[in-house]
Amino acid sequence: MPLDNLGVTITWTGTNNAKNYCNNNPLALENQEVRLLGQQGNQSNAGDEEANSFIIYWEMGTTDGNMNNESLFEQDLKKGSYSVDVEFIITEVI
């Protein structure tokens, strides 16, 4: 199954200001790094869990955002189980 059938959106619930690249439209998974959240201007993101809270929503086959524009049925995927490992890299900006 192509990775772009899987998408992610994030709702920022923290008190810090963050640049959310996938707030309203999902970003498709790729074979390379995809930035989901970033620094808002020159503001620090230092803080505790209350300052930096967010909720991750996964979706599959919706064709929204930059996800695959063909439905799962149109792609005629092979029957079976599919899995993928996702790595999140989180860094502090002071």
What pLDDT, in 10s, does the model give residues 34-89? 999 988 888 888 889 999 999 999 999 999 999 999 999 999 999 999 999 999 88
Per-residue pLDDT at 94: 67
Per-residue pLDDT at 69: 96
SS3 16: coil
pTM of the model: 0.85
List of residues 6+ apart from 11 with CB closer than 8 A: 23, 54, 55, 57
Helices (H) and strands (E) in the chain, counts: 0, 5
Per-residue pLDDT at 44: 83
